[in-house]
Amino acid sequence: MAQITLNNLSKTYDDGFTAVRNVSLDIADGEFMILVGPSGCGKSTVLRMIVGLEDITSGELLIDGKRVNEVSPRDRNLSMVFQNYALYPHLTVFENIAFPLRLRRNRISNEEVDRRVREASDMLDLNEHLDRKPANLSGGQRQRVAMGRAIVRQADAFLFDEPLSNLDAKLRGQMRTQIAALQRQLGTTAVYVTHDQTEAMTLGDRVAVLKKGTLQQVASPRELYEQPINLFVAGFIGSPSMNFLPAAVEGDRLRTPIGPLQVPDHVLEAARGRDTVILGVRPEFFEDDSFVEAGARRMGTTFEATASQTEWMGNEQYGYIGYEQDPQLKGLMDELARDLDQDEMPSTIVVSLDSASRIRGGQPAKFWVDTRSVHVFDPADGSNLTRDPEAGAELTAMAAEERASEISAAQH
């Protein structure tokens, strides 16, 4: 059980490259904190600084209020699951899990080691594999052994470094729920690094989004989704990602490539006085016009467009509508795309439609867009002009309550 505090943590390598810049983070006891960002954003470096495998250039790392910058990894009492599992190939599964116990300076009796390993292997369903070597295990089993080694020590916190990225999609989903359940059951603080926004959204009590070594926003998944602080967070969280359209105020509406849109007053106010703003619309705000209920229709705007293509997924379908990109915003959009690990931002709107919709590619059709929760962003610095911090804080407070109730439910 531990509370981990990062105070202005920075990491500069010998070659002068700064991987992490002034990251401050407060991880509460029992909290599941996710560090997420595209590759090279410094998330793994932060994790390695917490566990002690990477020196801290400046700033302070506190565990339960005690400064541990200079404490060696073995004395920090944290356990870590590595991306490649890092199992000891010459030891059996049993000995792999028992490894940390056998090293303890205060000698643990063999019976106690045996009891604790079996307890962990019960929890992880590894009983029949205890005598096997890691080489003979499947990816999911190796993953579970790595978890077993992490939990057997009763460490103060679990650190995960992209633990699921080597598994196939189906197994990843299973392991994800298993990790979540385990963390709730043990109530241990966890820090989890991933580049996968789905893992971030589903596992995290709070998610810290990093970009090029700088912390962008720390909030519950819901707050990140509904009240992102800037373009980067808005584009990174959510799949398919948020659509970004150039927009300008025209009377009491917003002029966009898909036509003038009726937007709520606070959105209009935020956009007023600027030549161009970036309008952020999530794919699910769109709908096939003929599926919109009469009562809801006035909350949005109907427009006509031709989807170049549609993809039917079973539970929903995606349509792709091309538009003319504002040349002024092209540079900004491409920079954002690079930040998000893409080559360039396609000038396409992704819309999510009801799976029964008969809209097909190539034919003009009527779409409807719900504009109640759209955001506008400042093209100069990408900041969100319509963010409501109070509503966001409320969402994160809700997540904290849920965590407390989930932990107590899982432990009783």
Partner 1 sequence: MNSLSARQKLLWALIAVVVVVYTLWPLLSILATSFKASSDINSGNFLPAQWVGDNYAMIFTGSANTLFLPALRNSIGISLISTFIAVVLATFCAYAIARLDFPGKRVVLNTALGVSIFPVISLTTPLFNLWRQIGLYDTWPGLIIPYLSLTLPISIYTLAAYFQQIPWDLERAAQVDGATNWQAFTRVIVPLAAPGVFTTAIIAFFIAWNDFVYGISLTSTSAARPVPAALAFFTGASQFETPTGAISAAAIVVTIPIVIIVLLFQRQIVSGLTQGAVKG
Other C-beta atoms lying within 10 Å of the C-beta of residue 39: 8
**In the structure encoding, which two tokens stand for residue 282, read together?**
């999530």
- If the CB atoms of residues 199 and 339 are measured against partner 1, the closer one turns out to be 199
Distance of closest approach, residue 177 Cβ to partner 1, in angstroms: 21
Burial state string for 66-102 with b = 16 or more CB within 10 A and e = fewer than 16: eebeeeeeeebebbbbeeebebeeeebbbbbbbbbbe
Minimum Å gap between C-beta 170 and partner 1 is 17
How many Cα atoms occupy the beta-carbon half-sphere of 171 within 13 Å? 13
For the bound state, the minimum distance from the C-beta of residue 142 to partner 1, rounded and expressed in Å, comes to: 7
Query: Whose Cβ is closer to partner 1: residue 92's or residue 348's?
Result: 92
Name the site residues for partner 1 (rule: CB under 8 A). Answer: 51-53, 72-74, 78-80, 82-90, 99-100, 103-104, 133-137, 139, 142, 149, 153, 166
Nearer to partner 1 by Cβ, of 78 and 263: the residue is 78
When the beta carbons of 140 and 361 are compared against partner 1, the nearer one is: 140
Least CB distance from residue 82 to partner 1, whole Å?
Answer: 5
Q: Which is nearer to partner 1, 160 or 285 (CB)?
A: 160
Q: Which residues contact 390 (CB under 8 A, 6 or more apart)?
A: none
- β-pairing, 32-36 vs 206-211, is parallel
Of 67 and 90, nearer to partner 1 (C-beta) is 90
**Least distance (Å) from partner 1 to the CB of residue 40?**
19
Report the sign of the C-alpha dihedral through residues 15, 18, 20, 22, in that order: positive
Bridging pattern class, strands 214-219 and 206-211: antiparallel
The residue among 82 and 320 lying less far from partner 1, judged by its C-beta, is 82
Q: How far is the CB of 176 from partner 1 (least distance, A)?
A: 18
Comparing CB distances to partner 1, the nearer of 99 and 318 is: 99
Kindly state the tokens that stand for 259: 């036509």
Shortest CB 277 distance to partner 1, Å: 46
- 89 bridge partner residues: none
Nearer to partner 1, 79 or 216 (CB): 79
Nearer to partner 1, 44 or 197 (CB): 44
Contacts of 112 (CB under 8 A, 6+ apart): 101
Which residue number, 124 or 351, has a Cβ lying nearer to partner 1?
A: 124
Q: How far is the CB of 193 from partner 1 (least distance, A)?
A: 14
Separation of alpha carbons 281 and 220, rounded Å: 20
Give min distance, CB of 98 to partner 1, in A: 10
Nearest alpha-carbon partner for 351 in 369, 372, 339: 369
